[in-house]
Copies of this chain bind each other. A is one copy, B any other.
Amino acid sequence: MPSEELRTFVLYDITDDRTRTNIAEVCLDFGLLRVQYSAFAGSLSRNKREELFLKLRDTLGKEEGKILVQPVCQKDVQSVLLHANEPLPEPEL
């Protein structure tokens, strides 16, 4: 049985600019979209989510940083509360 895809949030705090850029690129490679300066989200199966996590960990290597990968079920996704005052400055990748 193929595992269900869940909306997955990736949050990170990473000190080194280059490493942070690389982490963002890994998220994009997995089809996630940037939702905040240091947060991505997108739909992933459990396998893909674990693969992404391992890739992010490898990419961080020994640099200072923190990575959180949080799946959110459809029911909870529908309860999200969002507010934005645009324009926000474009984060560089």
Contact = CB atoms under 8 A, between A and B. Distances in A.
Interface string A1-28: 0000010010111010000000000000
A80 B69 contact: yes
| Size category, A interface | 35 or more
Identical chains bound together, number: 2
A6 B50 CA distance: 24
Interface in A19-62: 35-39, 46, 49-50, 53, 56-57, 60, 62
A64 B81 contact: no
A93 interface: no
A83 B66 contact: yes
A92 interface: no
Interface in A59-93: 60, 62-73, 75-77, 79-89
Contacts of A72: 70, 72, 76
